[in-house]
């Protein structure tokens, strides 16, 4: 018996997207959760085996209509790195997410993050970053 069969009373199929919508407990970020952990990660591990590396996370097939965090359909899940998962998110949602993250920081906190990043760079990396910024500004109409 699979995990989804055991938890059948906590999800219902959604006919338009094919998602299995979770209506059980969720964590603070809106992902389906049980005492054992995040359900999408548990289902992905059961279906595809353990993650290829510790950096991999359970990614939803959002480019093809999956709703994301509340979907526990094993056919909508796969292992992906955080970067791959991030770029699967539609650009509009990505910008909304980054806006929310940046809105939580004061200008002093954002400046401190930039100073810390620049301080950790070698002079060559700093020059390369400045050159790319200059090219980006020149390319704008």
DSSP string, 34-81: ETTEEHHHHHHHHHH-S-SSTTEEEEE-GGGT---TTB--GGGEEEEE
Please tell me whether residues 47 and 84 are part of one structural domain: yes
Same domain for 16 and 65, yes or no, is yes
What confidence tier does 47 reach under pLDDT thresholds 50, 70, 90?
A: very high
User: Do residues 81 and 116 share a domain?
Assistant: no
Quick check: 141 pLDDT over 60?
no
Q: How many structural domains compose the chain?
A: 2
Domain contains 97: no
Has residue 85 been placed in a domain?
yes
Stretch 24-49: mean pLDDT, rounded?
88
pLDDT value at 107 more than 80: no
Q: Helix, strand, or coil here: 109?
A: helix
pLDDT of residue 133: 65
């Amino acid at each position: 018996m699979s995990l989804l069969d055991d938890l059948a009373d906590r999800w219902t199929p959604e006919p338009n997207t094919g998602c299995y919508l979770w209506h059980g407990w969720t964590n603070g970020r809106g992902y389906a959760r049980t005492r054992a952990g995040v359900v999408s990660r548990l289902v992905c591990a059961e279906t595809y085996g353990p993650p290829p590396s510790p950096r991999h996370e359970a990614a939803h097939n959002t480019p093809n209509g999956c709703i994301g965090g509340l979907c526990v359909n094993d056919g909508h899940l796969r292992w992906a790195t955080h970067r791959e998962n991030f770029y699967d998110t539609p650009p509009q949602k990505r910008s909304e997410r980054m806006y929310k993250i940046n809105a939580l920081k004061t200008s002093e906190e954002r400046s401190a993050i930039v100073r810390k990043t620049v301080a950790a760079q070698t002079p060559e990396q700093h020059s390369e970053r400045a050159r790319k910024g200059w090219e980006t500004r020149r390319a704008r109409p």
